[in-house]
């Protein structure tokens, strides 16, 4: 796997995270073997867009075990039985899943699943179906979270959440998840395309993401893998954009282990560390405040096109999260002149200690929205300086 700068196109080794030319966050380039057709998209989202830059989030290249597995049925000598293709989660196109969902096309893939556009054979309604890899379907913790979320599916239904509608398993043992088919543009793609997102629009997306998170948090569901690749920007009938949080149930708890020294010594790669909270990196128990931290980092990137922590490798990114103070908006993009109150709200939401952050997603969203209307661009000694000062 290689990494590519979305701005200038320069490619880097797989341990690089930022472009040395323009500072953009690099995206993974999926290398597809000749054993299967090139995917139309890659990643962890549950929906797919209809145009360039829209679709499922970028993800790491799948392992060879996740490719199409064409094998031969075992026969006794002389039987002369024909060869039979054995279906896996990677080659479902053209099949009817559980006699109900006709698989139309593959719209994305990641390390643990393949995402397909499907139609109900009775109603022709479109769905996004994620076929889980054997590794994920055998993960007892992940499956317990999926079953619980599937049981809460109706209560989790919300305009800003792509929720699990059904969790099923075929006679052949393939585990699948049915979700609404969501069309739009991945937030990461929009930020890269525009360079940054205007303050007012960012505040709107933050409120919508926070609304979706709050519904899940009230049901004791923590996302654990909140990042721009897991947010879809959709458009309603009136042409207004809105944010949808994807992949609650499939977000796996990632732990860096108890000893950072051991982590850096072994060079363990843990997925996407840029948006993980300090407590997640330390392997501590997680609650809604870990999602608030991740949302604050996403907000910083929306406003600046950059991340508040820097590092040349994933290990350096983790260490920076645990030891260093985050960069500020004014240092990252001084020419934009963001209100000082916005700075203070973000710094509070990015506190290393969860007790010092906002304690709910709506609280953070409300504070951020109010701060965007503050005209002070200096040190800030007014009302918001007293409320959100450090």
Cβ atoms of 1 and 11 within 8 Å: the answer is: no
**Structure tokens that stand for 243 in this block:** 């944010």
225 in catalytic set? yes
| Sign of the CA dihedral running 8, 11, 12, 14 | positive
3-state secondary structure of 81: coil
Q: Where are the beta strands (DSSP E) in 249-313?
A: none
Degrees, nearest 5: CA angle 106-269-353 = 110
3-state secondary structure of 16: coil
**Structure tokens that stand for 334 in this block:** 């001084």
Looking at the chain, how many residues does it have? 390
Cβ atoms of 94 and 101 within 8 Å: the answer is: no
Q: Which of 139, 172, 211, 225 is catalytic?
A: 225
Q: Count Cβ atoms below 10 Å from residue 264 Cβ, excluding itself.
A: 15
Q: Phi/psi zone of residue 106: left (φ > 0), alpha (ψ -120 to 50 degrees), beta? A: beta
The catalytic residues are: 225
């Amino acid at each position: 796997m290689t990494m590519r700068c979305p701005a200038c196109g320069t490619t880097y080794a797989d341990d690089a995270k930022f472009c040395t030319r323009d500072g953009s966050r690099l995206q993974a380039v999926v290398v597809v073997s000749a054993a299967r057709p090139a995917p139309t998209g890659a990643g962890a989202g549950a929906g797919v867009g209809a145009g360039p830059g829209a679709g499922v989030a970028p993800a790491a290249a799948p392992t060879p075990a996740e490719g199409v597995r064409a094998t031969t049925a075992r026969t006794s000598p002389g039987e002369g039985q024909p060869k039979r293709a054995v279906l896996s989660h990677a080659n479902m196109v053209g099949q009817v899943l559980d006699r109900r969902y006709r698989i139309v096309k593959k719209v994305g893939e990641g390390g643990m699943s393949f995402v397909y556009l499907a139609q109900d054979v009775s109603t022709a309604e479109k769905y996004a179906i994620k076929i889980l890899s054997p590794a994920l379907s055998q993960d007892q913790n992940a499956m317990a979270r999926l079953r619980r979320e599937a049981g809460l599916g109706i209560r989790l239904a919300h305009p800003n959440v792509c929720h699990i509608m059904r969790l099923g398993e075929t006679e052949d043992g393939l585990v699948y998840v049915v979700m609404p088919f969501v069309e739009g543009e991945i937030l990461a793609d929009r930020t890269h395309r525009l360079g940054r997102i205007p303050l007012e629009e960012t505040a709107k997306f933050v409120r919508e993401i926070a609304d979706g998170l709050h519904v899940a948090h009230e049901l004791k569901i923590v996302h654990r893998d909140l990042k721009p690749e897991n947010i879809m920007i959709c458009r309603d009938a009136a042409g207004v954009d809105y944010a949808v949080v994807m992949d609650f149930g499939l977000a796996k708890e990632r732990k860096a282990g108890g000893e950072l020294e051991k982590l850096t010594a072994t060079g363990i790669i843990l997925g996407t560390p840029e948006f993980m909270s300090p407590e997640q990196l330390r392997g501590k128990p997680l609650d809604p405040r870990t999602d608030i931290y991740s949302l604050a980092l996403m907000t910083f990137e929306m406003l600046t096109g950059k991340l508040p922590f820097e590092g040349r490798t994933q290990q350096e990114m983790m260490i920076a999260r645990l030891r260093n103070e985050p960069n500020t908006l004014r240092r990252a993009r001084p020419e934009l002149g963001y209100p000082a109150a916005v700075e203070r709200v973000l710094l509070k939401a990015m506190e290393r200690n969860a007790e010092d952050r906002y304690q709910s997603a709506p609280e953070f969203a409300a504070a951020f929205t109010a701060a965007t209307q503050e005209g002070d661009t200096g040190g800030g000694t007014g009302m918001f300086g007293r409320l959100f000062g450090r």
